[in-house]
Amino acid sequence: MAQPVELGPQSSATMTLDYIHAPVVASVFLCAYIVAVCVLQKQIPLPLQRRRIAKALVLTMLTGYVAELLYYLVRNISEADFEPPQHAAFHCLGSILVWIPLSLSIVASSPLKWRPYFCAFVAQFCFEVTICVLKGVYMPKEDVYSSVPLAFSSLRAVASLGLLINAFFILISKEAEKGTDEESQSLLGKPANVTAAQPGDAGYGAIESSSSSTTVVEERDRNQEIKDKQAKRLEEEGGWLGYLKGFLVFLPYLWPKNDWRIMGCLALRFVDLFLGRFLNLLVPRQLGIITDKLANGATRMPWADIALWGLYQWLNSYSGFAWIDSFASTYIQKSAFRRITILAYEHLMNLSMDFHSSKDSGEVLKAVEQAAALNSLVELVLFEIGPIVIDIFVAMWYVTHLFNGYLAFIILFMGLLYIYIGINVTNWAQAKRRTYVANQRLMSTTVNETIHNWTTTAYFNRSSYEVERYGSNIRTTIKSYFTYYWRSMTGHMLQSALTNVGFLVCSIFAIKQIIYDGKPIGNLVAFIMFWTVIVHPLYLASYSFKHVSSVLIDAERLLQLLNTKSTVTDIPGAPDLQITAGRVELKNVDFHYDPRKQIIHDANLVAEGGQTIAFVGETGGGKSTMLKLLFRFYDVTKGSITIDGQDIRQVGLSSLREALGVVPQDSTLFNQTIRQNVRYSRLDATDEEIEDACRAAAIHDDIMSFPDGYNSKIGERGVKISGGQLQRVAIARVLLKNPKIVLLDEATSAIDSGIEGKIQEAFRKLSKGRTTFVIAHRLSTIVDADQILVVDKGAIIERGTHSELLELGGKYTELWVKQTAGHVSAPSSVTASKANSTHGDGKGEEILIDLTPDNEGGGNSK
Q: Residue 359: helix, strand or coil by DSSP?
A: coil
List own/partner pairs for 61-66 with CB under 8 A and 24 or more apart. Answer: 61/99, 61/124, 61/155, 61/156, 61/159, 61/160, 61/163, 62/96, 62/99, 62/100, 62/103, 64/152, 64/153, 64/155, 64/156, 64/159, 65/92, 65/95, 65/96, 65/99, 65/152, 65/156, 66/92, 66/96
Question: Which residue among 753, 774, 802 closes a domain?
Answer: 802
CA distance 85 to 216: 58
Q: What is the DSSP string of 14-39?
A: HHHHHHHHHHHHHHHHHHHHHHHHHT
The terminus-to-terminus CA distance of the chain in angstroms comes to 120
Classify residue 742: in a domain, yes or no: yes
Question: Which residue among 802, 823, 852 closes a domain?
Answer: 802
Task: Please list, residue by residue across 620-634, b when 16 or more beta carbons sit within 10 angstroms of its beta carbon and e when fewer do.
Answer: ebbbbbbbbbbbbbb
pLDDT for 370: 62
Classify residue 598: in a domain, yes or no: yes
HSE value, Cβ hemisphere, 13 Å, CA-based, for 588: 2
Domain that holds residue 639: 584-802
CB atoms within 10 A of CB 588: 11
pLDDT for 87: 87
Classify residue 359: in a domain, yes or no: no
Residues of the chain with pLDDT under 50: 1-9, 174-212, 824-862
Residue of 12, 44, 166, 20 lying closest to 98 (CA atoms)? 20
pLDDT for 380: 74
42 CB-contact burial (10 Å; exposed 0-12 / middle 13-18 / buried 19+): exposed
Classify residue 123: in a domain, yes or no: yes
CA angle 148, 153, 159 (to 5 degrees): 130
Q: Residue 743: helix, strand or coil by DSSP?
A: strand
Count of domains observed in the chain: 2
Give how far the C-alpha of residue 817 lies from the chain's centroid of Cα atoms, to the nearest Å.
56
Classify residue 633: in a domain, yes or no: yes
CATH code of the domain containing 772: 3.40.50.300
Task: Please list, residue by residue across 727-755, b when 16 or more beta carbons sit within 10 angstroms of its beta carbon and e when fewer do.
Answer: bbbbbbbbbbbebbbbbbbbbbbbbeeeb
Question: Which residue among 784, 802, 820 closes a domain?
Answer: 802
Q: Residue 836: helix, strand or coil by DSSP?
A: coil
pLDDT for 221: 55
Classify residue 608: in a domain, yes or no: yes
List own/partner pairs for 217-221 with CB under 8 A and 24 or more apart. Answer: 219/434, 219/437, 219/438, 219/441, 220/434
Classify residue 484: in a domain, yes or no: no
Q: Residue 181: helix, strand or coil by DSSP?
A: coil
pLDDT for 181: 43
CA distance 103 to 117: 10
pLDDT for 222: 57
Determine the longest span between alpha carbons in the chain, in angstroms: 138
Classify residue 299: in a domain, yes or no: no
Do the beta carbons of residue 429 and residue 486 sit within 8 Å? no
* Torsion 437-443-447-452 (CA) sign: positive
